[in-house]
């Protein structure tokens, strides 16, 4: 019986020690991770984006006014992507998201049908063509 007790007790103690070690290591890792994170946030290259708010709403804001970070190259990159995305959005809206009488896809969808004249020249002007 003594042998059995020792046999059962040893793995329990071992597992307890392992779990304690694991917990201590994990706590140390968390502390080091938090410290490293603080350091990176202090770094100007990886710092958080500073939002720019303008009180004068009458003046129209450009993208260059809105993007203002300590990193100049990051400013350029954000503004370039913003301008390109805006340009693409305007063009895609002309193709897809305008009203039925103005979108390009509706014109090509109804080409050759009786609806084509209404879409291209409006419902009022169709009586003149007929």
Partner 1 sequence: MVPEIPEILTGRMLPIYQELFEIVEKLSTILINVVNQIHCLTDKTSKINSERVFSRNLLKKCGFIQPFEVLGNTLLAILTLDTLIRENVNILKD
CB neighbour class for 107 (10 Å; exposed up to 12, middle 13-18, buried from 19): middle
Residue 71 DSSP symbol: -
Measured CA to CA, the distance from residue 106 to residue 116 in angstroms comes to: 9
User: Which CB, 14 or 93, lies closer to partner 1?
Assistant: 93
Please give the Cα distance from 92 to 87 (Å, whole number). 9
Question: What gap in Å lies between CA 30 and CA 84, rounded to an integer?
Answer: 41
- Report the residue number, 28 or 46, with the smaller CB distance to partner 1: 46
CB of 70 to partner 1, least distance (A): 13
Given the rule CB under 8 A, which residues bind partner 1? 40, 43, 45-46, 71, 73-74, 77, 80-82, 84-85, 87-89, 91-92, 94-96, 104-105, 107-109, 111-114, 117, 120, 126, 129-130
Minimum CB separation of residue 120 from partner 1 in Å reads: 7
Closest to partner 1 by CB, 31 or 96: 96
């Amino acid at each position: 019986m003594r042998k059995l007790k020792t046999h059962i007790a040893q793995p329990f103690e071992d597992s307890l020690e392992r779990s304690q070690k694991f917990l201590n290591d994990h706590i140390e890792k968390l502390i080091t991770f938090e410290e490293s994170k603080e350091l990176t946030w202090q770094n100007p290259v990886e710092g958080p984006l500073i939002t720019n708010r303008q009180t004068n709403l009458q003046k129209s804001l450009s993208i260059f006014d809105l993007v203002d970070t300590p990193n100049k190259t990051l400013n350029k990159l954000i503004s370039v992507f913003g301008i390109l995305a805006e340009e693409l959005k305007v063009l895609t809206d002309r193709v897809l998201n305008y009203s039925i009488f103005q979108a390009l896809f509706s014109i090509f969808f109804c080409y050759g049908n009786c609806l084509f004249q209404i879409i291209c020249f409006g419902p009022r002007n169709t009586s003149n063509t007929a």
